[in-house]
Amino acid sequence: MTKTTRWTVLALSFLGIADAAYLAQSALSGSPLSCSLANVSTSGCQTVAQSAYAHVFGIPLGVYGVIFYGVVFALAAVSLLIPHTHLARALRALSAVGVLASVAFLFIQLSFIHALCLYCEASGILALLMFIVVWWRPFALRFRR
């Protein structure tokens, strides 16, 4: 994994922490999410945040997001100092978990809640970008041969 890849994952995971922390803070404090796009109010954020699917084992999904992105951030930071194959594998595995979770959450939003949360979709996009970044080089190298 290149140094640029590790820095990119570090930056994306930082953005993920900020996004998930906002969702977690809102859920834990009970304050409504500020969710508007181009001065058009979207109620999807509140609908998703107040749904039965917004908590797992009584814990808001935003808290799990902070933990997920925090672990990815820590691994990326350590891999910048100590590049190691095991750290790269862990980042690849976590990026796959992040994408799978994001796809599952998107499915739940579309199929059961019938609303979309912009913050949730932003997290999904960040997870997808991390996945692409950490898997791009190994994938490209396989097809060069």
Whole-angstrom CA distances from 71 to 77, 93, 144 are 10, 12, 32
Judged against a pLDDT cut of 80, whether residue 32 lies above it is answered with yes
Instruction: Give the C-alpha separation, 57 to 59, whole Å.
Output: 6
Query: What is the average pLDDT value for the chain, to the nearest integer?
Result: 89
Q: Please tell me the predicted confidence (pLDDT) of residue 2.
A: 86
Q: Please tell me the predicted confidence (pLDDT) of residue 36.
A: 66
Instruction: Give the C-alpha separation, 126 to 40, whole Å.
Output: 23
Domain boundaries, the chain: 3-144
Question: Taking a C-beta distance cutoff of 8 angstroms, is the pair 26, 62 a contact?
Answer: yes
Q: Please tell me the predicted confidence (pLDDT) of residue 58.
A: 94
Question: Taking a C-beta distance cutoff of 8 angstroms, is the pair 79, 3 a contact?
Answer: no
3-state secondary structure of 35: coil
Question: Taking a C-beta distance cutoff of 8 angstroms, is the pair 54, 61 a contact?
Answer: yes
Question: Taking a C-beta distance cutoff of 8 angstroms, is the pair 66, 101 a contact?
Answer: no
Query: Percent of the chain having pLDDT more than 70?
Result: 89
Higher pLDDT among residues 10 and 40, named by residue: 10
Higher pLDDT among residues 61 and 43, named by residue: 61
The total number of residues written for the chain in this structure: 145
Higher pLDDT among residues 3 and 72, named by residue: 72
DSSP 40: E
pLDDT tens digits, residue range 66-125?
Answer: 999 999 999 999 999 998 889 999 999 999 999 999 999 999 999 999 988 889 999 999
Name the CATH superfamily housing domain 3-144. VKOR domain (1.20.1440.130)
pLDDT tens digits, residue range 10-27?
Answer: 999 999 999 999 999 999
pTM for this model (two decimals): 0.88
Q: Please tell me the predicted confidence (pLDDT) of residue 42.
A: 60
